């Protein structure tokens, strides 16, 4: 019952589930697993050893090897009976012309979908949790992590090893310096750094002040 478009190239060891839909001209790399009802747009390239479930992927997607999309998010509730796993019922919805680097994991939504906008580019080894909303034309460098229900506005740029706490947001067009920690909402258009992240000029002033104090203490 799977629908495979004209001109697709499916390499050795690929598994395609029932009612999956693969757009024309798409390439599926060796040993990739595409589970039931997954949809992939035309002219896409899916690397080797990927797993795709509970997701809709737009046209001209480029997924490098070892990408995992649609697995359960990290949802648990403590109770008197122990830890209860919260059901994860949503999907991952990815727009057109998105690139996703090797080893990146994108969790399905718990209720609302996890979404990635058009033309967004994601580097290697990025973790995107359940219900995360990432806009269009967003650039995300390696090893960044997005906790559940965080949001990133259109055109934002996120440096390597940046971490977002749950339910926080980065405004449209904001730039986040590498290794920053986001624990509150950041306004659109600014440049932020540090942990917790602050406007870049304020963060640099704090860094210089701490350096001066440290040198003063050492001299004494």
Q: Is the pLDDT of residue 215 over 90?
A: no
Q: From CA 93, how far away is CA 113, in angstroms rounded? A: 7
CA distance readout (Å), 211 to 148, 196, 215, 218: 35, 18, 6, 11
Contact 101, 68 (CB under 8 A): no
Q: From CA 167, how far away is CA 131, in angstroms rounded? A: 9
| Set 19, 130, 184, 204: catalytic member | 130
Whether 130 sits among the annotated catalytic residues: the reply is yes
pLDDT in tens, 37-86: 999 999 999 999 999 999 999 999 999 999 999 999 999 999 998 999 99
Q: From CA 115, how far away is CA 106, in angstroms rounded? A: 9
pTM value is: 0.94
Burial grade of 180 (CB within 10 A; 0-12, 13-18, 19 or more): buried
Sort strands 55-57 and 39-40 into parallel, antiparallel or unpaired: parallel
Calculate the dihedral angle through the C-alpha atoms of 15, 37, 68, 176, rounding to the nearest 10 degrees: 150
Q: How many CB atoms within 10 Å of residue 38?
A: 24
* For residues 184-210, average pLDDT: 94
pLDDT in tens, 100-150: 999 999 999 999 999 999 999 999 999 999 999 999 999 999 999 999 999
Three-state SS string over 72-132 comes to CCCCEEEECCEEEECCCCCCEEECCCCEECCCCEECCCCCCCEEECCCCEECCCCEECCCC
CA distance readout (Å), 219 to 206, 209, 213, 214, 215: 20, 15, 10, 9, 6
Distance from first CA to last CA of the chain, Å, rounded?
77
């Amino acid at each position: 019952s799977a629908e495979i478009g004209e001109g697709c190239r499916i390499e050795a060891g690929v598994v395609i589930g029932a009612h999956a839909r693969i757009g024309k001209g798409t390439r599926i790399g060796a040993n990739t697993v595409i589970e039931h009802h997954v949809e992939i747009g035309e002219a896409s390239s899916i690397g080797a050893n990927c797993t795709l479930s509970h997701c809709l992927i737009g046209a001209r997607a480029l997924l490098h090897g070892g990408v995992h999309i649609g697995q359960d998010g990290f949802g648990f509730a403590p109770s008197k009976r122990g830890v209860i796993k919260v059901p994860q019922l949503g999907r991952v919805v990815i727009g057109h012309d998105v690139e996703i680097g090797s080893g990146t994991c994108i969790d399905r939504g718990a209720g609302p979908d996890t979404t990635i906008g058009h033309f967004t580019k994601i580097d290697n080894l990025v973790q995107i949790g359940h219900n995360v909303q990432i806009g269009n034309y967003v650039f995300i460098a390696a090893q960044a992590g997005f906790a559940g229900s965080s949001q990133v506005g259109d055109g934002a740029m996120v440096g390597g090893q940046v971490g977002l706490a749950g339910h926080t947001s980065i405004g449209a067009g904001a730039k986040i310096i590498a290794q920053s920690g986001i624990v509150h909402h950041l306004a659109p258009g600014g440049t932020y750094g540090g942990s917790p992240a602050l406007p870049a000029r304020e963060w640099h002033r704090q860094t210089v002040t701490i350096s001066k104090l440290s040198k003063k203490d050492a001299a004494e």
